[in-house]
């Protein structure tokens, strides 16, 4: 539905004319996210305080328009898109780190803080905020919480929800709530904090957060190991954990992703390698040295082509540069891509890799896999030109097969990208009707008029309006 002129004037009165726009050049900036899908909003607002957020939501209920919360727009599932029109609420002006408490190991921050900036602020105090999505240099903490972001270090330290102690949030009705605690323990009442984290901006808009910090590991060591095949690398991952070693990250790149990065960066990756494992351990120096040497010996026992410990921080940074270059490098391989982030149990990774390779051979599609091998999170990509409709249909059928394999192995169809609009058609494959009905009742309880982020997660959710 179109935003009425009277509503626009009231929005401008709430946030100020400079922070509310309907100009096409401004709307265009907030019409897309990392999915490359495009949905134009009716207006964009940039509030600066919790009271302004609450006032906008109250107005939305009164005047019947949608509100779509947004951070940096780096999401991979379309969660910040105005798929049914409405007002995009951009939270980037909420950009303050309010406190780093070195005695209680907590941080208080606003949702527009860039993840990397919190990492740096904590580390300057000798503390550590482990969640590290690949987009951490530009993604916001609010977006991380909305999607329950993961990242390479999740294998040892867990994901975003494991570090959220409490929240200030505004419900879709405009009610301001405070959830959780600022202490290490707290079990009073239902855990509303955990309910909001990962709810993809459908239950409330976070305006402040209390996050758990831990001591900063004094030393980080990095090892790279090349293998002849992805299956051999996957077996190596299982061996590492079977030997009671828990690295802080184990990243993998298959042959196709290695070839992409080599063409993109020209950094001399081995041409015969079928896969790379990039492994980090942290702790005190003696512990790091011991674990790296054990992993290196295991890699060589398992037939690695090479297994080298990075001699310097600069060398380790070059390895991570290769890993983080995959996504931009992929666009040299195809005009478009379909990007999924399936997860299977670690010991099922070799089997999943075999299924992906067999599917690639059967379909002739160009498939590229990389991701977080330490927790079974595989970023599976199909490179294609979506204008070629027969190829697009073949790719969509391949995605359905991948989801079918993933669930049969006890996995999940999304490890960290969320549901949004891209996974919504597949939700019923993983979540049963009784569970979906309960979730929709929760949504309706929080958002009785359906004004907040409609069309996400549950298809047809806004039908009760």
Q: Is residue 189 part of a domain?
A: yes
Give the per-residue pLDDT at 325. 82
Looking at 215, 244, 279, the residue that finishes a domain is 215
Structural tokens at position 391: 């190829």
Q: Is the same domain home to 197 and 223?
A: no
Alpha carbon distance, N-terminus to C-terminus of the chain = 12
Which SS3 state, helix, strand or coil, does residue 212 take?
strand
DSSP string, 371-402: EEGGGTEEEEEEEE-TT-HHHHHHHHHHHHHH
Q: Is the same domain home to 116 and 61?
A: no
**How many secondary structure helices (H) and strands (E) does the chain include?**
16, 18
Which SS3 state, helix, strand or coil, does residue 16 take?
coil
| Residue 185, domain CATH | 3.30.465.10
Looking at 215, 237, 271, the residue that finishes a domain is 215
Q: Is the same domain home to 192 and 298?
A: no
Q: To the nearest whole number, what is the mean pLDDT of the chain?
A: 94
Q: Is the same domain home to 79 and 119?
A: no
How far are the Cα atoms of 49, 252, 339, 364, 375 from residue 274, in angstroms, in the given order?
Answer: 51, 11, 21, 18, 20
Looking at 173, 195, 215, the residue that finishes a domain is 215
Look at the block and give the residue holding tokens 């330490």: 374
Q: How far apart are CA 3 and CA 357, in angstroms?
A: 49
Helix residue ranges per DSSP H, 64-132: 115-124
Q: Name the strands in the sheet holding 106-109, side by side, starting at the edge strand that comes first in the sequence.
A: 97-101, 106-109, 205-212, 164-170, 176-180
Q: Is residue 394 part of a domain?
A: no
Structural tokens at position 443: 């949504």
Q: Is residue 413 part of a domain?
A: no
The candidate with the shortest Cα–Cα distance to 232, out of 262, 261, 246, 252, is 252
Q: Is residue 449 part of a domain?
A: no
Q: Tens place of pLDDT for every residue, the chain, 465 residues? A: 568 889 999 999 999 999 999 999 999 999 999 988 999 999 999 999 999 999 999 999 999 999 999 999 999 999 999 999 999 999 999 999 999 999 999 999 999 999 999 999 999 999 999 999 989 999 999 999 999 999 999 999 999 999 999 999 999 999 999 999 999 899 999 999 999 999 999 999 999 999 999 999 999 999 999 999 999 999 999 999 999 999 999 999 999 899 888 887 777 778 789 999 999 999 999 999 999 999 999 999 999 999 999 999 999 998 888 888 887 788 777 789 899 999 999 999 989 999 999 999 999 999 999 999 999 999 999 999 999 999 999 999 999 999 999 999 999 999 999 999 999 999 999 999 999 999 999 999 999 999 999 999 987 443 333
Q: Is residue 392 part of a domain?
A: no
Q: Is the same domain home to 199 and 255?
A: no
Give the per-residue pLDDT at 321. 85
How many domains is the chain partitioned into structurally? Answer: 3
Q: Is the same domain home to 103 and 211?
A: yes
Give the per-residue pLDDT at 462. 38
Angle made by CA atoms 412, 418, 423, in degrees to the nearest 5: 75
**Tens digits of per-residue pLDDT, 256-271?**
899 888 887 777 778 7
Q: Is the same domain home to 202 and 244?
A: no
| Residue 42, domain CATH | 3.30.43.10
Q: Is the same domain home to 203 and 164?
A: yes
Q: Is residue 445 part of a domain?
A: no
Percent of the chain with pLDDT over 90: 87
Q: Is the same domain home to 118 and 177?
A: yes
Q: Is the same domain home to 105 and 150?
A: yes
Q: Is the same domain home to 26 and 125?
A: no
> 143 near 74, Cβ under 8 Å?
yes
Q: Is residue 305 part of a domain?
A: yes
Give the per-residue pLDDT at 444. 97
Q: Is residue 354 part of a domain?
A: no
Segment holding 156, helix H or strand E: helix 154-157
Q: Is the same domain home to 74 and 152?
A: no
Give the per-residue pLDDT at 1. 58
Q: How far apart are CA 243 and CA 226, in angstroms?
A: 20
| Residue 253, domain CATH | 3.30.70.3450
Structural tokens at position 39: 């949905």
Structural domain boundaries enclosing 177: 97-215
């Amino acid at each position: 539905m179109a935003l009425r002129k009277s509503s626009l004037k009231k929005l401008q009165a709430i946030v100020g004319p400079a922070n509310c726009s309907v100009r096409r050049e401004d709307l265009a900036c907030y019409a897309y996210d990392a999915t490359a899908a495009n949905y134009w909003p009716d207006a964009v607002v940039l509030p600066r305080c919790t009271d302004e957020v609450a006032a906008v939501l109250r107005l939305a209920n009164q005047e019947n328009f949608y509100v779509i919360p947004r951070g940096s727009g780096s999401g991979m599932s379309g969660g910040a898109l105005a798929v049914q029109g409405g007002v995009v609420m951009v939270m980037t002006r909420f950009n303050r780190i309010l406190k780093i408490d070195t005695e209680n190991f907590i941080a208080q921050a606003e949702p527009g803080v860039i993840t990397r900036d919190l990492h740096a602020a904590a580390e300057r105090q000798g503390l550590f905020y482990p969640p590290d999505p690949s987009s951490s240099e530009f993604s916001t903490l609010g977006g991380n919480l909305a999607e329950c972001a993961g990242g390479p270090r999740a294998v040892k330290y867990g994901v975003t929800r494991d570090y959220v102690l409490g929240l200030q949030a505004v419900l879709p009705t405009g009610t301001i709530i405070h959830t959780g605690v600022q202490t290490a323990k707290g079990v009073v009442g239902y855990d509303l904090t955990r309910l909001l984290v990962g709810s993809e901006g459908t239950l409330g808009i976070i305006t402040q957060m209390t996050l758990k910090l831990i001591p900063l590991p004094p030393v980080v060591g990095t090892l790279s190991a090349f293998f002849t095949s992805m299956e051999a690398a996957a077996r190596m991952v299982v061996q590492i954990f079977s030997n009671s070693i828990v690295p802080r990250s184990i990243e993998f790149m298959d042959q196709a992703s290695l070839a992409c990065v080599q063409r993109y960066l020209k950094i001399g990756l081995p041409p015969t390698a079928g896969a790379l494992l990039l492994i980090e351990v942290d702790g005190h120096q003696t512990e790091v040295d011991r674990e790296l040497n054990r992993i290196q010996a295991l890699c060589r026992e398992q037939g690695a082509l090479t297994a080298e410990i990075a001699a310097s921080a600069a060398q380790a940074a070059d390895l991570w540069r290769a890993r983080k270059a995959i996504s931009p490098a992929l666009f040299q391989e195809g005009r478009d891509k379909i990007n999924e982030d399936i997860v299977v149990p670690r010991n099922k990774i070799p089997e999943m890799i075999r299924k992906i390779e067999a599917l690639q051979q059967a379909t002739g599609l160009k498939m590229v896999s990389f991701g977080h091998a330490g927790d079974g999170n595989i970023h599976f990509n199909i490179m294609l030109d979506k204008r070629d409709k027969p190829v697009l249909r073949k790719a969509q059928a391949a995605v359905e097969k991948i989801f079918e394999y993933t669930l049969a192995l006890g996995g999940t169809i999304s490890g960290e990208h969320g549901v949004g609009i891209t996974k919504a058609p597949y939700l019923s494959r993983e979540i049963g009707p009784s569970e979906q009905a309960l979730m929709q009742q929760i949504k309706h309880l929080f958002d009785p008029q359906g004004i907040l982020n409609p069309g996400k997660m549950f298809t047809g959710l806004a039908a009760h309006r």
